[in-house]
Amino acid sequence: MSLHAQDDPALREAQEDRLRAVWKPPEGLFLRWTDTNNNRVGVWYVLTAFGFMLFAGVLALIMRAQLAAPGNDLVNASTFNQLFTLHGSMMMFLFAVPMFEAVSIILLPQLLGARDLPFPRLSAFGYWSFLIGGVFVAGSIFFDAAPDGGWFMYPPFTTRTDLSGLGADIWMLGLSFIEVSSVAAAVELIVGVLKCRPPGMRLNLMPLYAWYILVVAVMILFAFPPLIAGDLLFEMERLLGWPFFDAAKGGDPILWQHLFWIFGHPEVYIVFLPSIALFAMLIPTFAQRPLVGYPWIVLAAVGTAFLSFGLWVHHMFATGLPKISLAFFSAASEAVAIPTAVQIFAFIATLWAGRVVWSTPLLYAVGSVAIFVIGGLTGVMVAIAPFDWQAHDTYFIVAHLHYVLIGGTLLPLFGGLYYYWPLITGKKLSDRIGRTAFWVLFAGANLTFFPMHLSGLMGMPRRVFTYPAELGIGNLNLASTVGSYLFAFGVLLVCVDLALSPRRAKSPRNPWNAGTLEWLAHPDDEDWGIRSVPLIESRYPIWEQKDFVQKVDEGRFFLPDAEEGRRETIVTSVIDARPVQVLRLGAPSAVPMMTAIALGSVFILTTYHLYTLALVGAAATLALVLYWLWTGTAEIPEKEEKPIGHGMVMPLYISGGSATGWWAMFITMLADATAFSGLVFGYYFFWTVRPEFPPTGPGFDGPGVLWPMVALALTAASWGATVAARETHARGGVGTARILLAFGVVASLAAIPAGLAGPWLSGMAPKLHVYPAIVWTLAIWTVAHSGVGAIAQGYALARSIAGRMTPRYDADVRNVTVFMHFMLFTAVVTYLTIGLFPEAS
């Protein structure tokens, strides 16, 4: 297809008809919910997260009413504890993180000039999981069964079933489910950024929002799994009585605090960096010039992410840690202010270097920076251990964290809403309502949270349902309460503005005169995303590339057609964005939703101890996942390759290290290995804090050396067989490869009893002491991976026999091999730890 051909309007119209037909959303009462297009799923996701934010906000208003006066009795202690637990948990897990993912699901394909994300069905699965888990957790408050242990859920209060009830299980299992969907979305976004950029968009030409998505998604990938590992230990203690956090049986409640804050501190930056990313998009637009210091911003974002994993202990300054570690973590906590300052000054420098166009989104951006800087400065204060010993767990911290989150998440999101609303709906929001709302929100936030600095230092601890008049903080609290209702009124104004939007006229295309790709979106948007995938030569192509918009619209770039009636997007190489493939995307399907329902049932039924039904749910989940993979992935195309324009011809099927599926598997397994590391950390943590670990004496026999080594040998054999199968298969040895895979299945299955034989034959009793409990946990985790490995090997074997995998089309066996690499790593660490470490120590 040459430039010449696209001159023909009839041809363009025919192409548009085909694209429109391919991307037509499913219709019908039920079927419309089976859509997987990022434009739909993203919008559902945003609306749901917004709804949860309003819900959690109302919970806070009830708390503020209770605290308006000393000794108030509007709600009792039990309700109040549920309110603050749910408020914090929902704002973090059901609003801040999902909102980032939701906005990214909408924006990322547009920023990258892609038709959709690489795994649209995975996005849909993530959304439905989020909705089910969120409703489950949030709804519990209507049954007086909401979690009441604080959003940090510190044991032993929360693990003792005599002290905390069903709420703790709802928190652990409901939110674990959502954490799984968060990790799924992170995988999707990372692969999207790395592999679905338009041709020519080298890493250093990426829009900054895409950089931040990459950084934040990688943070999610490494931050959430330790919490998932913690959740696992936590529920094992609650449901089975394995004493990981019970000091009387060798456990230690501090382990939870480590695992929680290894997640919890990066979490702060996970919810803050996306807002910086929004600034990085809208400030150049309103300064009408490229951002000053692009490489500085990227470096600062990466630096923040890196440092944020080294600060978690500053949440534990008052736990009596060695003073030397206090000094180290104080220093690291202060250091993270430096990349943050770099980012903020890059924005200020851009304003100075541009000709600023004043606007509502810019008002929100500047206002939120003002609030955020206050939170950042108090953050530096609490990074200093001697000050933190006073401020920790008081209302000073409540003030600090709300300044950070309102200035660093909520107000920037509202700014982003005013900025991107025309992109999503084709209409601008009202400047008048928007600016009024801003000032109400700004006044409300300061009136609510500034007095809390004082009430905290005047003796008000966090999480108290009441306080005595004699502390002299009644007026400060009353001011906070008035401020919170003022703030709520500001949120209401924004909602009114949104509700009035359908009645307003369409705005012109690219109303802010922005320079980045997402503003190619047309007010009468089509579902295909972008008319043709452009060739990118600059960071602000709409400003800097000649006739850019016209060329895109006339289909003069790549992939302007959908000849075969399939949803497609272009896959490019990771660093320099050379096109490598035309990726066939999944069409709308009910399978993601059904899989989410099945997996959700496993978590929810386990909460109510309905284990048999939960097993049925697990079997259904497995069946659905296999069906999904079988029918929807690694499909052998009807032809080898297709032209994408400009004389370029791209393959329709690739496998191995340049394929999206391989990357998704690799990234997922990184998360898996991180969760596993959390468990291994537990083992060695107990060794460092307990002088006698492993303990000696009757009943404390270890698993021995023999069986762990047998299990390791079997796992290694299974791994070797899979690698050999991949290699012989690629050389045409299909028969040999099948035999090797079959052998692999047998070896993986044999590794299961061998892995459990050590602790089983030694009679290790996990309820007795933390040592047998953690050994059992590592063994079960590892043999579960052997089980999944056997299923994966069997799947590849079945695909080969069914003719869905051939030496040319071998993605299945290559992806299974990636899993097996990580499986071998898991087995080596586990079996050497449980088998040999006791011998050495």
Partner 1 sequence: MGGSGRQSLFAPFGVEARYQLSLTGWLVLAAAIILVGVLALSITGIRRKGKPIGHQSGIRMIWWLGAVFPTVTLFALLVVTLPAMRPIVAGVDALKIAVTGEQFWWRVGYAGPQGGVVTANELRVPVGRTVDLRLEAGDVLHSFWVPGLAGKMDMIPGRTNRLVVRATKAGVYRGQCAEFCGLSHALMAFDVVAMEPAAFDAWLAREAAGAAAPVDAAGAAAFARHGCGGCHAVRGTDAAGMIGPDLTHIGARRSLGAGMQPMTIPNLARFVRDAPSVKPGARMPAYPQMTPEEAQAIARYLKGLA
Closest to partner 1 by CB, 337 vs 625, is 337
Asked whether position 86 contacts partner 1 by CB under 8 A, the answer is: no
Asked whether position 334 contacts partner 1 by CB under 8 A, the answer is: yes
Residues 261-300 that bind partner 1 (CB under 8 A): 289, 292-293, 296
User: Would you give the DSSP letter of residue 92?
Assistant: I
Asked whether position 354 contacts partner 1 by CB under 8 A, the answer is: yes
Closest to partner 1 by CB, 459 vs 720, is 459
What whole-number distance in Å separates Cα of residue 507 and Cα of residue 428? 6
Asked whether position 343 contacts partner 1 by CB under 8 A, the answer is: yes
The one-letter amino acid at 774? I
Asked whether position 806 contacts partner 1 by CB under 8 A, the answer is: no
Asked whether position 358 contacts partner 1 by CB under 8 A, the answer is: yes
Using CB atoms within 10 A of its CB, is residue 731 exposed (0-12), middle (13-18) or buried (19+)?
A: exposed
Stretch near partner 1 under the rule CB under 8 A, chosen from 27-35, 333-341, 626-634, 821-829? 333-341
| Residue 370 Cα distances to 175, 209, 349, 403, 412, angstroms | 33, 21, 16, 9, 11
What whole-number distance in Å separates Cα of residue 419 and Cα of residue 635? 40
Residue in this structure with the two tokens 């295909």, named with its chain if needed: 528
Q: From the CB of 313, what's the least distance to partner 1, in Å? A: 13
Asked whether position 77 contacts partner 1 by CB under 8 A, the answer is: yes
Closest to partner 1 by CB, 463 vs 821, is 463
Instruction: Name residues whose C-beta falls within 8 Å of residue 830's C-beta, 6 or more positions apart in sequence.
Output: 680, 708, 755, 778, 779, 781, 782
CA angle in degrees (0–180, nearest 5) for 515-518-520: 80
Q: From the CB of 466, what's the least distance to partner 1, in Å? A: 5
What whole-number distance in Å separates Cα of residue 32 and Cα of residue 204? 39
Query: What is the CB neighbour count within 10 angstroms for residue 133?
Result: 26
Copy the structure tokens of residue 393: 């767990």
Asked whether position 163 contacts partner 1 by CB under 8 A, the answer is: yes
Single residue of 31, 47, 240, 338 touching partner 1 by CB under 8 A: 338
Asked whether position 362 contacts partner 1 by CB under 8 A, the answer is: yes
Closest to partner 1 by CB, 115 vs 453, is 453
- Three-state DSSP at 657 gives helix
Residues 449-488 that bind partner 1 (CB under 8 A): 457-459, 461-468, 470-472
Q: From the CB of 499, what's the least distance to partner 1, in Å? A: 30
Asked whether position 330 contacts partner 1 by CB under 8 A, the answer is: yes
The one-letter amino acid at 479? A
- Burial profile 340-349: b = 16 or more Cβ within 10 angstroms, e = fewer: bebbbebbee
Single residue of 389, 439, 627, 684 touching partner 1 by CB under 8 A: 389
Helix axes 474-500, 38-66, angle to 10 degrees: 150
Closest to partner 1 by CB, 28 vs 295, is 295
Q: From the CB of 321, what's the least distance to partner 1, in Å? A: 10
CA angle in degrees (0–180, nearest 5) for 38-43-47: 150
Stretch near partner 1 under the rule CB under 8 A, chosen from 77-85, 503-511, 574-582, 624-632? 77-85
Closest to partner 1 by CB, 308 vs 815, is 308
Asked whether position 143 contacts partner 1 by CB under 8 A, the answer is: no
Torsion of the alpha carbons at 420, 424, 427 and 431, rounded to the nearest 10: -20
Asked whether position 773 contacts partner 1 by CB under 8 A, the answer is: no
Residues 369-388 that bind partner 1 (CB under 8 A): 369-370, 373-374, 377-378, 380-381, 384-388
Pick from 49, 20, 199: nearest CA to 112:
199
Helix axes 323-335, 337-353, angle to 10 degrees: 10
367 forms bridges with which residues in the sheet?
A: none
Closest to partner 1 by CB, 135 vs 381, is 381
Q: From the CB of 666, what's the least distance to partner 1, in Å? A: 34
Asked whether position 685 contacts partner 1 by CB under 8 A, the answer is: no
Asked whether position 623 contacts partner 1 by CB under 8 A, the answer is: no
Asked whether position 709 contacts partner 1 by CB under 8 A, the answer is: no
Closest to partner 1 by CB, 218 vs 365, is 365
> E strands within 295-368?
none
Whether the CB-CB separation of 494 and 414 falls below 8 Å is answered with yes
Stretch near partner 1 under the rule CB under 8 A, chosen from 155-163, 557-565, 585-593, 760-768? 155-163
